[in-house]
Amino acid sequence: MFKKKNVEEKQNNDPLFQVARREKRVKIIKGCVALVFVCILAFIIVAVATGDGNEVNFPKDGVEGIREVAAPDKSKGINGVMLTDQGMTVVAENDKLKLSFSNRDNLFILEDLVTGEIFRSYPEPIHETTLEEGETSDLDLYAENSETGQFITSPVFVGYTKSGMDGGFTLGVNQMAHVKTAYYIENGVRLRYEMKELELEFSVEITIENDELVYRIPVNGIIERKGLENEQQDRRPLLVSLSVLPYMGAHRSGQEGYFVTPDGTGALTKFDTARITNYNEYSKKLYGNDLTFDVSDAPDYNNLLLSIGAYGIVENIDDDGENINSAANSIMTSFIKEGDSNAELKISNPGIRNLPFYAIYFQYNYRDFYKLQISNGGTQYDMVVKDKQLGDVEQRTKITTSETEEYSYVDVAKEVRSNLLAQWKERYGVELATGNSGDSPVLNLKLFMGAQNEVGGVLDQVKVMTDFEDVRSIYNELDSMGASDLRLSLLGWQKGGYFWNATSKLKVDGSYGGKSDLKDLYSWAKGKDITLALDNNLLIVYGSPTNGATFRNSIVKQANTFYLNYYIKDTSGVFRKTDFYVMGPKYFDQELIDDLIERLKDFGANNVDLQQLGDNVFSDYNEENPLFRVQTISLYVKWLQKYGANFDDVAVYSGNSYAIPYADIIVDMPIEKSSHLVLDEEIPFMQIVYHGLVDYYSAPVNNQDDEAFFTLRSIEYGSLMSYEITEEKTSELRYTYYNGLYRSEYSTLKNEIVERYKAVAEAVKPFAKLDISDHFRVVDGLDIFCTEYSDGTRVYVNYEAAEQTVTDVNGEKITINAESYKISEKGGK
Amino acid sequence: MKFKKFICLLILTSLVLSTGITASARTPYANYYIQEKEKTAKPIPAAYETSTVIDFLSTETGKLKNPEDMFIDDEGKIYVADTGNNRIVVYGADYKFLFEISSDGTYVDGDLSALKDPTGVYVDPDDGAIIVADSGNGRIVEFTKYGNLRYSYSKPESDLLSKDFSYQPEKITKDSRGFMYVTNKGDSNGIMQLSSNGEFISYYGTNKVNLSFWESLAKLLWSREDRKGSVVTLPYTFTNIYSSADGYMYATTTTETPPQVRKINIGGSDVLYGAYDFRDNSIMSSFSTINQIFCDVTVDKYNNMLIVDRQYGRIYEYDERGNNLFAFGTKGNGYGQLSYPVSIETDGNGRVYVLNKTTGNITVFKPTEFANLVHVANAYYSDGKYEESLKEWEKVVEKSNYYSLALVNIGNIKLREEFNSEAYDFFYEAENATYASEAYEEMRADFLRDYFSWIVITIVVLLALWVAVVTIKKFRRKKYGVPVERKNFFTAIKHFFGRVTNIMRHPVDGFEEIRYENQGSYLDMIAIMILYAIVSVISAYATSFIYRGGASLDTIEPVLTFFFAFLPWGVVCIVNYGVTTIMYGEGRFRDVVIGGAYCHGPLMLLSLPYAALTHLLTLNESGIYGILGTLLTIYTIALVYFCIKGIHGFHPVKAFVVFMLTAVGVVAVVLLFLIVYGLAAQMFDFIIQFGKEMIYLV
């Protein structure tokens, strides 16, 4: 032992030995480093080779096929199959409708048995032999081998991608190689398409039920990559979208009639309007863009929501009793019963695709494309997602005809309303009825409390624009001036102000008075029976995740694996570069909502305004909490139920239809349409559908481009009004992100608030519980409109710069002042 | 279901011409103005709303095809250079087709001499003559107001024009003297000035060459011979011209940097608000990387200039003094959005017409009540009708609470009426320091006038008190001797400041004592630097509005300011220690950092009074402020020099050399930092991109 120690000591003192030992250590370290690199490389190679390392496993609810493909009716045809060259054949008939189909011509004809009105799945060509004065034949368009002919006559439009990274194409099914089999089924036909080149099979079912034409696309009938399921997913064809009978109800330019769409407040597309040249098809996703996919560098000024999955086609015989192809006045009201989460409304006008038609239809998106740009300045690819996002689809079109009655968009809206009521009952078990609304105050005063400066400020304190004490004094003053029935809604009351980080713990900012003052304010409000609501941002993370939330577990990811940024629109119409994000709905559901509700209740809150739930639906590709839009909607509904159970009044923004059964109030309800050139005229479509079921307020009037017009429009549309006010000067907000206001200081607005309060109290509030029974332009060429409520009261609104006199239906002359309104009480009775 | 309505109009109390919804609750574009200071976008109500879109689809002549230019005469008639259809189309004020000109009516080789790619049109206000830049045929053609040929001016000849001169007139206008002004495609010599007979007179308003820094350097260092073969930078060319009634020529140019728009007087000089950069910072600071392209300019009846940007579809309106009144519009295909604007005009009603090339239509905007208020108020103001102007401006502020032009003009009117304090408040709200200074000067004069005797009395009393205190102190010392100092917190602070001021007063000895007598301490160093940082922040807030240049307190970044206070100290100390190590300095690192901290003494003690001083001064006395600031800086720099000398025991000359080397070293470190930062950013970006790629692939 002693000897060994000696040797060690000797070796330790030997410089050569030490060098050798150091070299040995270096070698070992080098070896280890090399081994680590090799391991990493091998891992990457293996991972890349096997792929799908970051596979996102979506839940299946809402996208699974519930319905089986309809079985062939073997009593008809050859064992249920229709001959390929079979001409027009009646495939279904009931006491109201008769549906015929020509397998050879791909033509469906629907006949109303009462009036004889015919509806074709594509417009009849103008033949040389039937030319009327001023007409030219367009038979060439229908040529079987022409692109237009194949397109128009296609019963289905198919969106597909060939490589998965080409951005996709949409063609009529007849433009592509396919094998079609038509099966007789109960009440109609099932068309089955096999498209070998696209490795795709799908079925669409077209039937009649009572007075409705029904399209169904069972998801179980869609088979992709048959026999190739286990092959590598990349660079193979995939189904992107389907549209059924897209040219059903298509019209030529100059014909009487119009399309009715729920864009924004609602809009008409008239067939007889001299149209500004437009080659851009109207295309809008129902319930708004999907932030996860529709990422844009600049805000879209045509972004008003499509909140209801419906459209209408109105056609009336003109004054001299003539209208091409029409035997009677008619409306077709299409309504999505299933598949609304991923529906997209399309409207074409003559000129688009070199076709002379107006066409309207829903496209059902099974997949979306996302942008992939790996390096800055590199090529950007439009990549398709792998998973299908949509389950069964069912669209029902009600046919209404009359030889005597003239129809309008009001009839379409009423039909949509009854469809929605039925849908809410079926989906959610909620029965709404007229009179459900009407309890909300006359005016919604949004009191903006404060926000932090963009940079600095004194120790990043919130810029206090209104505090809790101000809220009280503002109300008291307005009350003393005669405006007492007010709804007070507090914005930006949270710690940090308006741009509160939604992942953080909900607290009241001390600079407004803190939690105790808020509680006092609520006690005061409850004592005076004032509706006081707290505005809540639920899902936008202004800042980085905190309070246990991490990017990985809480932030919405795009399909390209990047976290979804949330950009704020700048005053100058561009997006600002901000590090804001969107919270995954699942994370909110699992981690935050219960605590949030408890805290709100602890503050004494009994009314809440909820952001996002009524106006913002998106997908989430975060591996931790993936969601399709349909699942996001389910969560929203669940939350609305929860909030509804805990608070007196729950308000949502904008008013997507799925939110209405649980929302007591809609705030910022649009009263304008988008500016797309295919939309000709604004109509109160949404209002006719929702009036009497839910109270709604238009957006704050004091920052509208034309306040006088906006006020009249609110009155015309039966909309309660809003103001957004601050106690401090508006300019105090100019260095915050909330810098879009230019007119909000209470002291300068109070007189006009009272004035408008009186107008709304007189012309809107008394009718809030009623249905809107009619709405029309009183005189052609003049901007005088009439809104009629179900008790017969009529509200006339004159936008003209001069006083106008009209005669009411009962013969009474009514004079309406310039840019004013007049109420004709129960004039209809 | 409802039956046809039998409601009819009985009485029309006025003639109504509108055929659709005449107003809209919402404009499909942003509405804002650019605040002069910082050139940021501020919100306003819509200034213009879409009146109509003239599509010409229903006219008998069909649609316009790639039109390039438009002119609106005094009667409101619209003349369009329908370039793609090789014609000039004339529409009435009601937008109905009147006639077209597709040829000059003469025959060449049996064929009609047709217009070819006409890209410019101008109408003489005197006789209605239609003058066309027939670009494809390389000529100017003048027609009568009925479209009959009057003159045709082919390529001008002149000794002043080069032999290889290429002539392709693009835009044309005329001045009150009858001279024609023509932009020639690709001609960088300027606008061609032609006589009324089409003879070339000279080039007008020639643009300058915009050289980059490196191009200027190359020109300076290399001879013409050396530069042979390299790319020649030519002056930018003109893209559009407009002659205003008051004799100015407005022009847009191809350059993306100033001057994108020029206002040229009769002598050919630019008179447009100096080298104003028309780029919209608010757009350029977003995701956009492409510069704006201002493609046309026009002047309205109020002499306001409107320019249109082709890239983003924005229209900007400026008044005669260069204030941006409004900015609005967006690129797009919606109603009221601009698809590809190429020409802008206004009519006598204040409507703005924008010609879209790709869609071949004209978007017509009409001024809103807000725009009319601003126009009228500004016109009154320019005409010196201040009382009328004030009423209108007050209405403007009611509609847009912090529209700065309104606030400034109200302030100026109030100032004229000697409501100085009110005027100051308006200037403060408008963040305009220059005018606020004027108001403050008046306020100060008023104050001095009112309270002069009180001020004098106060000063005298204070002086007397001071003398009394000193005298009493002296007396007490004489009688009782120097009082024994008790050790407590206050005496510690007193000694701390004593040490700081001692070094400020005796820097030579003070710094030597730090090195050789171990004076100074880390505690002092920390205290000085933290106090200095705090003072920096407080000074930033304490500086008056006028001397902050009108900047809001909200724009101050206190945290950044606090930490930035340490930066120069840190860099200088490190560099100096490095330099003095090489130069055999005797100072230790401890001495360098402690000495460096003591150098901040003057800044620490005097910054606050210096900031407080700004509350007494107006911009007219900015000289005093500047001198004091310079003295403070010199004092601090001198302390740095004495610090180097004292701590390292250098000879004064050597100390100076080391001082200079330290300065050079600091510059080098900053440059190095910038380079390293740039490379690191790229490296970081590379790693991020690589990571993203891996994440995506894996």
pLDDT tens column, B565-599:
999 999 999 999 999 988 888 889 999 999 999 99
> Is the Cβ pair B401, A729 closer than 8 Å?
yes
> Is the Cβ pair A734, B42 closer than 8 Å?
yes
Selected residue with higher pLDDT from A811 and A747: A747
Which chain B residue has its CA at the smallest distance from A733's CA? B554
- Measured between CB atoms, which of B5, B20, B25 is closest to A776? B5
Contacts of B374 in chain A (CB under 8 A): none
Q: What pLDDT is stored for residue B16 in this prediction?
A: 23
**What torsion do the CA atoms of A755, A761, A763, A769 make, to the nearest 10 degrees?**
160
Q: What pLDDT is stored for residue A41 in this prediction?
A: 78
- pLDDT band of residue B22 (cuts 50, 70, 90) is very low
Contacts of A744 in chain B (CB under 8 A): 401
The pLDDT tens digits of the residues spanning A164-174 come to 888 899 999 99
**Is the C-alpha dihedral spanning A599, A436, A632, A166 positive or negative?**
negative
The pLDDT tens digits of the residues spanning B474-501 come to 998 888 887 777 788 888 899 999 999 9
- A and B: number of Cβ contacts within 8 A: 261
CA dist B68 and B295 (Å) reads 11
Contacts of A47 in chain B (CB under 8 A): 697-698
A740 has a chain B CB within 8 A of its CB: yes
Is pLDDT at A318 greater than 60 in this prediction?
yes
Is pLDDT at A228 greater than 60 in this prediction?
no
Best A383, A673, A688, A742 member to test B by mutation, with max B CBs in 10 Å, is A742
B5 has a chain A CB within 8 A of its CB: yes
CA dist B521 and A518 (Å) reads 51
> Is the Cβ pair A743, B49 closer than 8 Å?
no
A458 has a chain B CB within 8 A of its CB: yes
Is pLDDT at A397 greater than 80 in this prediction?
yes
Bond from prior residue into B28 cis (ω within 30 degrees of 0): no
Mean pLDDT: which of A13-22, A122-131, A529-538 is highest? A529-538
Bond from prior residue into B118 cis (ω within 30 degrees of 0): no
In chain B, where are the structural domains located? Answer: 33-63+278-367, 388-444, 486-684
Window A:374-403, CB contacts with B under 8 Å: 374-376, 402
Question: A706 vs chain B: nearest CA distance in angstroms?
Answer: 5
Selected residue with higher pLDDT from A246 and B690: A246
Question: A500 vs chain B: nearest CA distance in angstroms?
Answer: 19
The pLDDT tens digits of the residues spanning A456-499 come to 655 668 899 999 999 999 999 999 999 999 999 999 999 999 99
Paired sense of beta strands B103-108 and B111-114, if any: antiparallel
Mean pLDDT: which of A115-129, A405-419, B42-56, B266-280 is highest? A405-419
Window B:359-418, CB contacts with A under 8 Å: 359-361, 368, 398-403
Is pLDDT at B14 greater than 50 in this prediction?
no
Residue B665 and residue B573 in contact, taking contact as beta carbons nearer than 8 Å: no
Closest alpha carbon to A466 in A449, A490, A489: A449
The pLDDT tens digits of the residues spanning A91-134 come to 999 999 999 999 999 999 999 999 999 999 999 888 766 666 66
Q: What pLDDT is stored for residue B638 in this prediction?
A: 95
The pLDDT tens digits of the residues spanning A203-225 come to 999 999 999 999 999 999 999 87
**Is the C-alpha dihedral spanning B143, B147, B149, B155 positive or negative?**
positive
The pLDDT tens digits of the residues spanning B81-91 come to 999 999 999 99
The pLDDT tens digits of the residues spanning B530-552 come to 999 999 999 999 999 999 999 88
CATH number of the structural domain B33-63+278-367:
2.40.10.500
Best B26, B395, B695 member to test A by mutation, with max A CBs in 10 Å, is B26
- pLDDT band of residue B436 (cuts 50, 70, 90) is very high
- pLDDT band of residue B1 (cuts 50, 70, 90) is very low
Backbone angles phi, psi at A734, to 5 degrees: -70, -20
Q: How many helices (H) and strands (E) does chain B have?
A: 16, 28
The pLDDT tens digits of the residues spanning A35-94 come to 878 887 777 666 655 554 457 888 888 888 888 999 999 999 999 999 999 999 999 999
Residue A615 and residue A653 in contact, taking contact as beta carbons nearer than 8 Å: yes
> Is the Cβ pair A562, B689 closer than 8 Å?
no
Is pLDDT at B6 greater than 60 in this prediction?
no
The pLDDT tens digits of the residues spanning A688-710 come to 999 999 999 999 999 998 899 99
Residue B301 and residue B346 in contact, taking contact as beta carbons nearer than 8 Å: yes
B564 has a chain A CB within 8 A of its CB: no
**What torsion do the CA atoms of B403, B404, B410, B414 make, to the nearest 10 degrees?**
140
- Measured between CB atoms, which of A276, A406, A807 is closest to B4? A406
CA dist A707 and B46 (Å) reads 11
Window A:34-93, CB contacts with B under 8 Å: 44, 47-48, 53-54
Contacts of A713 in chain B (CB under 8 A): 25
Least confident of A493-497, A518-522, B73-77, B286-290: B286-290
Question: A642 vs chain B: nearest CA distance in angstroms?
Answer: 35
> Is the Cβ pair B28, A302 closer than 8 Å?
yes
Contacts of B360 in chain A (CB under 8 A): 277
**Average pLDDT in chain B:** 88
Is pLDDT at A427 greater than 80 in this prediction?
yes
First to last CA, chain A: 121
Q: What pLDDT is stored for residue B106 in this prediction?
A: 76
CA dist A205 and A717 (Å) reads 39
Window A:407-446, CB contacts with B under 8 Å: 407-408, 410-411
CA dist B275 and B119 (Å) reads 29
Tokens of B377: 């108020």
Least confident of A237-241, B37-41, B642-646: B37-41
A730 has a chain B CB within 8 A of its CB: yes
Window B:429-468, CB contacts with A under 8 Å: 429
If one counts every other C-beta atom within 10 angstroms of the C-beta of residue B503, the result is 26
If one counts every other C-beta atom within 10 angstroms of the C-beta of residue A782, the result is 19
- pLDDT band of residue B79 (cuts 50, 70, 90) is very high
Which chain B residue has its CA at the smallest distance from A576's CA? B286
Question: A467 vs chain B: nearest CA distance in angstroms?
Answer: 19
> Is the Cβ pair A53, B698 closer than 8 Å?
yes
> Is the Cβ pair A456, B360 closer than 8 Å?
no
Which chain A residue has its CA at the smallest distance from B27's CA? A705
Least confident of A2-6, A571-575, B411-415: A2-6
User: Which residues pair with residue A68 across a beta bridge?
Assistant: none
Question: A423 vs chain B: nearest CA distance in angstroms?
Answer: 22
Query: What is the share, in percent, of chain B residues with pLDDT greater than 70?
Result: 93
Q: What pLDDT is stored for residue B564 in this prediction?
A: 93
